[in-house]
Structure 1
Amino acid sequence: MKVCARLLALVMLIALPATLTAHRAFAETTLDKILKEKKIRVAIDVGNPPFGILDKDGQPDGSDVAVARQMAKDMGVELEFVQVPSTGRIPALLAGRADVTVASISVTTDRAKAVMYCHPDGALSIVIFGPKSVAIKTPADLVGKRIGITRATLEEATVPKMAPQGTNIVWFDEIGATIQALLSGQVDAVAMTSFAGKTVADGNPDKGIETKLTVTTAYYAPIVRPGDFELRQWINTWIFLNTQNGTLAALYKKYTGVDLPPLPIF
């Protein structure tokens, strides 16, 4: 009996990898589900110009939105937007509310612990903006000043590291609140993308908002849930082809006003 039991255990151990492989082969993937239902759900942040905004009719627009629309069109499926604040870009994906997030999410090792990045589809710079009356030329000038930062952004990951002790960082959950704090004088300056800062400055010429200090430049990319390798591979292929044919460069230039820099592949 002991010999039979040992033989049975050995057979089960040998068969287990094949069983798991077969299960993976026949299990429905996120990409399978998207193609079967002919719909892809994309999480976007419409409070982050020029990547995500609402147009005059209240409809999503911006470079991220345009990328998502082109992606869905090329996949041949209906597009459903899931609007989230910057703090909800990853939680909405992990909770299953969206299949992919396209919301200018900068590539960081911390985020890569929770999600899988696709290839980058754009780049951005984080800059300190403030009115001309506020003197900021170097990181040392941040001491004693109130600097507004939006949570769950690249600003959160970079500015506190370069800001010297004595900098008063004021946190906000959405970029809209950060912008309003700057315009109302609640903070002395804010950290945001160069594109968002330019939009705010151009829209409020009476405030005299200008670039004070560049913090960092980084790439951003769509993200998918851990294990969604098939969807990630499709998106990577799409990004590669649309980088080659100039589509991504055209969309980036349309919304940011600058040329798309060379994009890395990892």
Structure 2
Amino acid sequence: MPRLLLLIFCCFLAACGKKDNSLRVGMELTYPPFEMKDAQGNPDGVGVKMAEALAADLGRPLKIVPMEFSGLIPALKSGNVDIVISSMTATDERRESVEFSEPYAFTGLSILLGKDSTVRSIEDLKKDGIRVAMKAGTTGESWAAANLPKAKITAFTEEPACVMEVAQGRADAFIYDQLSIYRYHKENLDTTRALLNAFVQENWAVALPKGDTETKAKVDAFIAKFRAEGGFSKLADQYLGEEKKAMEELGVPFIIR
């Protein structure tokens, strides 16, 4: 092969093998107002805006990869996404297989109950015959499995199904994060009530591949800068103004700050 043609061929192979520099962010787009779709079907929400700001900070194009929550960590471990931003709680169990950034949100588990439920605290859910609806793959489901041995636990892939179980009396409780419980109660005032004081404190963080300390350092630096510049506060006002005010009135520290 002539030298010039060989050079062109080698350049062609190099171009074909060049890795896309996009920041592939895995998220479940069914968790408003954090990760969702707008009226036109485009990704939107607090997590999406955070991902956009992070990608810009890293100087990389953003590519959001939507999937069910239970598939996020497997996708990260297999290399199908670079990071996960999906209101994911940083737990010790998850840390066994992924890295986590510094927290960007602070929350806890609370309880949605039927309007006429006699449950007054988490201790009441430890009695015989309690039926609990849970979202599959969440820390709430893990906590219930470990701490409610007498309860009948039914897992669903989406939160609205859990809410419907409680609202229609097929489940006694739905355990999930404070903000979601508040929102679902507001949407179902006639059939539910909420215990908003968290019985387990949690925080959300960006998930990264195990051992990727370089990207973790960059993400941590971004979170610190974004917080210092008021980025999280602006997103709270944009997407969660009513909830922020309500939590402040209840004396509950707001989730993003």
Distance 1:189 1:115 in 2: 30
1:156 maps to 141
Deviation at 1:48, TM superposition (A): 2.3
4+ runs of 1 displaced by more than 4 Å? 259-263
Distance 1:212 1:255 in 2: 20
Work out which of the residue numbers 59, 63, 66 in structure 1 matches 2:46: 63
Deviation at 1:213, TM superposition (A): 6.3
**Higher gyration radius (CA):** 1
Deviation at 1:262, TM superposition (A): 8.8
Describe the shift of the 1:112–1:101 C-alpha distance in structure 2 as closer, same or farther (beyond 3 A).
same
Within 5 Å, which residues of 2 pair with 1:44-63? 44-63=27-46
1:221 maps to 205
The answer to whether the Cα contact below 8 Å between 2:232 and 2:256 also exists between their aligned partners in 1 is: no
2:171 maps to 187
The answer to whether the Cα contact below 8 Å between 1:44 and 1:82 also exists between their aligned partners in 2 is: yes
Describe the shift of the 1:261–1:155 C-alpha distance in structure 2 as closer, same or farther (beyond 3 A).
closer
Consecutive unaligned residues of structure 2, counting only runs of 5 or more, are 1-17, 245-252
The answer to whether the Cα contact below 8 Å between 1:119 and 1:239 also exists between their aligned partners in 2 is: yes
**What secondary structure does 2:210 align onto?**
coil
Describe the shift of the 1:98–1:262 C-alpha distance in structure 2 as closer, same or farther (beyond 3 A).
closer
**What secondary structure does 2:205 align onto?**
strand
For normalisation by structure 2, the TM-score amounts to: 0.79
Give the total of aligned pairs.
228
What is the CA deviation profile of residues 220-249 of structure 1, one whole-angstrom value per residue up to 9, with x for unaligned ones?
Answer: 100111132221111111111112212123
Consecutive unaligned residues of structure 1, counting only runs of 5 or more, are 1-32
Distance 1:44 1:218 in 2: 19
For normalisation by structure 1, the TM-score amounts to: 0.76
The answer to whether the Cα contact below 8 Å between 2:27 and 2:35 also exists between their aligned partners in 1 is: yes
Within 5 Å, which residues of 2 pair with 1:96-115? 96-115=79-98
Describe the shift of the 1:45–1:131 C-alpha distance in structure 2 as closer, same or farther (beyond 3 A).
same
